[in-house]
Every structure is written in structure tokens, then in C-alpha cells.
């Protein structure tokens, strides 16, 4: 029986076109995918684009283009990148894909609801659009986010949270035992140090008045699912989670491919 080998890149954020760093990552993943195919393993190689969020809406506004058109255009550039680099990905996932990606999110949300892992609470905090996340006072220099050099918004809202804190011990054990492998060792130790303090629950939704470009919380149109409950699900949706019975069309052609290089998209 051939061994299953599933490899993914990060999915790229489409608030801008690809750059050389994206190309580098795809090529590295491609090498591993091709190597494993050569060993006779059953390989599935995934890449794609992360297309929701307030930062994308703002980038589209700045470009003067409707947001759907903006993400289509930039996602196409990333797809073109895989073509010109002759990347052998089996599928290209898009988080704006309502047929394949969205049903997976909904399924996961329902599962988490059932297991009691998501709950609602009022949250007060500082929100940095650049981070697409809440930051704390210690991230500020002169009242501005030290990374993005912008003033955070003061936010007081009711959001869904995922009970990550409940899983601190379990995650710690799996990392220590090597079941979850983190390399290099320094990164592993860093995560274990965070785990010692205990993980905090993670915001899983934003009010749709502030985040309209995204997937609505099932049965609640006033909330939009936040990046953690949306983008990360791509690793499941692309292999059929939530669309059981739906056969994904591999985007890779089966015949030999012409190797072409073009610098024009950078």
C-alpha cells in the first residue's frame, strides 16, 4: 500500500499580488511533493488563497475595485504563479469558494457547537486592522501598534470564542510526545513555554457590521466567522470535508507540462 503524503503551503492572502517569497515557498513544497511521488507515495499537494477579512476590503477600496473583483484578480495571479513555476499542486483552494470551502466551515462550526467548544462573550479590547487581531497595551508604542504604526480601534463587542484554553494540556502532551512535531527545536520550545502559561480562548467571530466580507455564522447573519474558523479550514475543505461525495477535480494536468518561467507577474 502506498503511503499517503499530504502537503500544503500556507494559503496566500490576496490583499496584493505574489512576490518572490511566495514563489520560494511553492517551489520548496513542490520539491517535497515530487520527491514523494517519485517514492511511489500517494501524494496530495495543496495550495490556494485566503480571501476574506477587513484588510482585503480596505485594499479593494484603495484600488477602487469591488471586493469580489479584487480577490478574483489577485487569486488569479497566484494561480498563474503556480503555472509559470510548473508547480505540481493537485488542487488550488479559494476561501471564497461557496461550493467547496463554505460547506466545510459550516460543518465544523456545527460540530464545535455540539461539543460545547464555542461560546459567546462580550469582549473589550484594542483591535489592529494590520494584525487582523486584538492586540494588547504592551504591543503599543506612542499609542500605535509597533508593527503596523497605526492606532488600534477600541472595540467593545459580543463575539464567539473557541475554548482553546480547554486544550492546553492535550496540546502540550502531543507536542512533548512528538505526535505534533514542531521544527526547529527552538520553535517547539517557544510554543511549550506559551503552553506553560496556558492558552487563551480565541475569538472566532466578528460583528458583520465590521466584517462583512466573510462567511456568516450559521443561522446568525449579524456575525461573520473570523479568520481562525474560516481560512484554516481550507486544509480540510480541499480534501472533501463538508462536501462528502463531491469529487474534487484535480487542477493538475496528467500529461507532461511545459516548463516555462516568466518574471512578468512579480
Instruction: Classify 141 in phi/psi space as left (phi over 0), alpha (psi -120 to 50) or beta.
Output: beta
Query: In the complex with Zn ion, which residue's Cβ is closer, 81 or 128?
Result: 128
Query: In the complex with Zn ion, which residue's Cβ is closer, 55 or 131?
Result: 131
Residue 253: CB minimum distance to Zn ion, A? 41
| Strand partners for 190 | none
Ordered strands of the 216-217 beta sheet? 205-207, 220-225, 216-217
Chain residues in the site for Zn ion (CB under 5 A): 128, 130-131, 145, 147-148
Residue 138: CB minimum distance to Zn ion, A? 13
Residue 79: CB minimum distance to Zn ion, A? 29
Residue 142: CB minimum distance to Zn ion, A? 13
Residue 232 has a CB neighbour count (10 Å cut-off) of 14
> Three-class SS of residue 212?
coil
Residue 150: CB minimum distance to Zn ion, A? 7
Query: In the complex with Zn ion, which residue's Cβ is closer, 34 or 131?
Result: 131
Q: How far apart are CA 159 and CA 261, in angstroms?
A: 46
Q: How far apart are CA 261 and CA 193, in angstroms?
A: 44
- Exposed, middle or buried by CB within 10 Å (0-12, 13-18, 19+), for 74? buried
∠ Cα 83 89 92 (to 5°):
85
Amino acid at each position: 500500500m502506498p503511503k499517503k503524503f499530504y502537503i500544503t503551503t500556507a494559503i496566500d492572502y490576496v490583499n496584493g499580488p505574489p512576490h518572490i517569497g511566495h514563489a520560494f515557498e511553492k517551489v520548496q513544497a513542490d520539491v517535497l511533493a515530487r520527491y514523494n511521488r517519485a517514492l511511489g507515495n500517494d501524494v496530495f499537494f495543496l495550495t490556494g488563497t485566503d480571501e476574506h477579512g477587513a484588510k482585503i476590503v480596505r485594499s479593494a477600496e484603495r484600488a477602487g475595485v469591488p471586493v469580489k473583483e479584487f480577490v478574483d484578480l489577485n487569486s488569479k495571479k497566484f494561480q498563474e504563479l503556480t503555472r509559470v513555476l510548473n508547480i505540481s499542486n493537485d488542487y488550488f483552494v479559494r476561501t471564497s469558494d461557496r461550493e467547496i470551502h463554505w460547506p466545510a466551515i459550516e460543518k465544523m462550526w456545527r460540530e464545535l457547537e455540539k461539543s460545547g467548544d464555542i461560546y459567546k462573550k462580550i469582549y473589550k479590547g484594542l483591535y489592529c486592522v494590520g494584525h487582523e487581531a486584538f492586540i494588547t497595551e504592551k504591543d503599543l508604542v506612542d499609542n500605535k501598534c509597533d508593527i503596523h504604526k497605526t492606532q488600534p480601534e477600541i472595540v467593545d463587542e459580543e463575539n464567539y470564542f473557541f475554548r482553546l484554553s480547554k486544550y492546553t494540556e492535550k496540546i502540550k502532551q502531543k507536542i512533548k510526545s512528538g505526535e505534533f512535531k514542531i521544527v526547529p527545536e527552538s520553535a517547539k520550545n517557544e510554543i511549550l513555554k506559551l503552553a506553560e502559561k496556558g492558552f487563551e480562548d480565541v475569538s472566532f467571530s466578528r460583528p458583520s457590521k465590521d466584517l462583512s466580507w466573510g462567511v456568516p455564522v450559521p443561522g446568525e447573519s449579524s456575525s461573520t466567522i473570523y479568520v481562525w474558523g474560516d481560512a484554516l479550514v481550507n486544509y480540510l475543505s480541499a480534501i472533501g470535508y463538508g462536501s462528502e461525495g463531491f469529487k474534487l477535480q484535480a487542477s493538475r494536468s496528467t500529461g507532461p507540462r511545459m516548463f516555462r518561467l516568466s518574471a512578468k507577474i512579480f
